[in-house]
Amino acid sequence: MASDGKKPADAPSGSGSSSDASGQQTTKDMQRILDTLSPQQLSELIALNPALAQEVVQATGSSNPTPDQAAEMLKKMRLEDVMSGLAASGKNVKDMASYKFWATQPVPRFDENQAVPDGPLKIQKVEDISKEPAGLVSGFEWVTIDLTSDEEIKEVYELLNGHYVEDDDSTFRFNYSPSILRWAMMAPGWDKRYHVGVRASQSRKLVAFISAIPVHLRVRDQVITCSEVNFLCVHKKLRGKRLAPVLIKEVTRISNLEGVWQGLYTAGVVLPRPVSTCQYYHRPLNWQKLYEVGFSYLPHGSKPQYQVRKYAVPESTSTKGWRTMRAGDVAAVVDLQRRYAKKRYDIAPELSEAEVAHWLVPKVEPSGEQVVWTYVVEGADGKVTDFVSFYCVESSVIKNARHNVLRVAYLFYYATETGLAEPEDRAALKARLNALVGDALIMAKKEKFDVFNALTLMDNALFLDQQKFARGDGQLHYYLFNYRTKAISSGMDANGQLDEKHLSGVGLVLP
């Protein structure tokens, strides 16, 4: 979360400064790549990043610039601005030295021909993978973190709470509670070997961490097994040690030893090469609090009471048959979610009953905390016709005298039989999704959430405007490691606007 309405980047990012010799060389290498791209390829690079597209539109004065216009504009930008996709604001400028690392990895290049077939970029054998981790710099050592231990998960919590991603103004920082961390990192199939830490040898302090869970991912017509990588964090004082690439290599090595060759991850910055880029949108539920902490602003000529009234929600839900999901609904939700995802998305998880029970069934943890909320709609015949869900990740408010925490709801998975009609009735689907998400907002307000976040993925473009979501400046880029596929629609058009006509092919939400 950020003061201007974005989720900070939980990216596998390098450390160090782009002003050093290696960074300068990498910048030159990347500039040469840009110089070799055709106008059409440069247009594709712009299309991957809606914020960058807006820059080009503003600079050229055309709502639909030609490839040659886009190319000319792009080549005038500083390379760091191109890669961050936020040239005007200068935020999230990527450390260019990290491109030197990614250039050594099996990931698609920006200048790669997208006409080639889907599939792995590199074929390996388990027997060729090292059985031992790479060495660390002196004074540090590898450890496996036991998340079932209250003491060790507290260490992970404290590391993330103090050093994980935050907004550019250092106003907000993710505050993942132990309950949320266990939910996110101990899904069915989890293995503690994927909970990788680095400790200082003398103090035994946990100074870096990375995790992964298994996921069966459908990419168009192929189902692949991936390691979903998350929670990469390095202590701020050690970011010159280049630990991030070493952590990424280690979790890759562990995956490879299990015969898992593909990876899935997200980032708030552009790395080589996103499969899709989605925009963050935010729906205030407690506008006054958001204003007081600097998350929301007061529009010119408006008054606080007008904004409070604008974002008010009804007292009760209106969808007939609406109720909280129960364990007995798992099979029905699995069936509905699979059919909906297969029909509507190019990339989506293949969720088992055990995974749906873990990810979606609401439960109160021993701490009294709840992580996920899911609601189903039950028809007159007792069948589940719809479901919608959201989860909670709080954000710490830094240096604010009145508030120290924001309760943030993130839209999770949903599906409706209305979207499975043949032929498709887009108007009916739009109306149904607006009803479902509208009721979800009501429930989130009842649960004391301050803001409700969503991306432009799935079919969200059909309701974001109507439900008074405001566009943030944050983006989330989706990446596949060691797998090539053509770019997937993001729910945004070439001008960076919501695209109700094409919608998004991304049916994947990572906590």
0.85 surpassed by pTM: no
pLDDT surpassing 80 at residue 91: no
> What confidence category does residue 8 fall into, taking pLDDT thresholds of 50, 70 and 90?
very low
Q: What average pLDDT does range 340-365 have in this prediction?
A: 97
CA–CA distance from 502 to each of 401, 456, 498 (Å)?
45, 12, 9
pLDDT surpassing 60 at residue 398: yes
pLDDT surpassing 80 at residue 146: yes
Q: Are residues 262 and 288 in the same domain?
A: no
- Residue 75 has what pLDDT? 61
Q: Considering only CA atoms, which of 56, 473, 7, 504 is closest in space to residue 267?
A: 7
- Residue 94 has what pLDDT? 39
> What confidence category does residue 367 fall into, taking pLDDT thresholds of 50, 70 and 90?
confident
Q: What average pLDDT does range 320-331 have in this prediction?
A: 98
> What confidence category does residue 52 fall into, taking pLDDT thresholds of 50, 70 and 90?
low
Q: Which helix (H) or strand (E) holds 304?
A: helix 304-310
- Alpha-carbon distance of 432 to 347, in angstroms, equals 23
Pairing of strands 262-267, 222-234: parallel
* 50 in a structural domain: no
- Residue 34 has what pLDDT? 58
Q: Are residues 334 and 446 in the same domain?
A: yes
- Residue 39 has what pLDDT? 66
- Residue 217 has what pLDDT? 98
- Residue 32 has what pLDDT? 57
pLDDT surpassing 60 at residue 331: yes
- Residue 59 has what pLDDT? 66
Domain count, the chain: 2
In which residue are the tokens 């998305």 written? 345
pLDDT surpassing 50 at residue 85: no
Q: What average pLDDT does range 141-160 have in this prediction?
A: 96
- Residue 46 has what pLDDT? 62
Q: Residue 183 is part of a domain; what is its CATH number?
A: 3.40.630.30
* 97 in a structural domain: no
Q: Which two tokens stand for residue 140?
A: 């540090």
Q: Which residue has the higher pLDDT, 366 or 284?
A: 284
Choosing from 204, 235, 267, the residue where a domain stops is 267
Pairing of strands 276-284, 172-175: unpaired
Choosing from 205, 233, 267, the residue where a domain stops is 267
- Alpha-carbon distance of 421 to 348, in angstroms, equals 20
Burial 323-339 (b: 16+ CB within 10 A, else e): eebeeebbebbbebbbe
pLDDT surpassing 90 at residue 5: no
Q: Which domain holds residue 131?
A: 118-267
- Residue 218 has what pLDDT? 98
Q: Are residues 424 and 362 in the same domain?
A: yes
In which residue are the tokens 């607006």 written? 434
> What confidence category does residue 126 fall into, taking pLDDT thresholds of 50, 70 and 90?
very high
Q: Are residues 349 and 285 in the same domain?
A: yes
Q: What average pLDDT does range 233-257 have in this prediction?
A: 92
Catalytic status, residue 511: yes
Q: Single out the catalytic residue among 50, 284, 349, 511.
A: 511
Task: Name residue 58's amino acid.
Answer: Q
pLDDT surpassing 80 at residue 72: no
- Residue 474 has what pLDDT? 85
> What confidence category does residue 373 fall into, taking pLDDT thresholds of 50, 70 and 90?
very high
Choosing from 267, 288, 318, the residue where a domain stops is 267
Residue 225 CB neighbours (<10 A): 16
Q: Are residues 364 and 226 in the same domain?
A: no
Q: Are residues 295 and 261 in the same domain?
A: no
* 229 in a structural domain: yes
Q: What average pLDDT does range 73-101 have in this prediction?
A: 47
Three-state secondary-structure class, residue 62: coil
- Residue 374 has what pLDDT? 98
* 502 in a structural domain: no
Q: Are residues 357 and 233 in the same domain?
A: no
Q: What average pLDDT does range 402-420 have in this prediction?
A: 95
pLDDT 10s digits, 162-215: 888 655 555 676 888 999 999 999 999 999 999 999 999 999 999 999 999 999
Query: What is the number of residues in the chain?
Result: 511
For residue 482, what is the DSSP state? T
* 83 in a structural domain: no
Q: What average pLDDT does range 108-112 have in this prediction?
A: 78
Q: Which residue has the higher pLDDT, 112 or 380?
A: 380
Rounded to whole angstroms, the maximal C-alpha distance in the chain is 69
Comparing 78-92, 177-191, 235-249, 425-439, the range with the smallest average pLDDT is: 78-92
Q: Are residues 219 and 133 in the same domain?
A: yes
Q: Are residues 341 and 457 in the same domain?
A: yes
pLDDT surpassing 90 at residue 7: no
pLDDT surpassing 70 at residue 41: no
- Residue 73 has what pLDDT? 66
pLDDT surpassing 60 at residue 25: no
Residue 47 CB neighbours (<10 A): 20
- Residue 86 has what pLDDT? 32
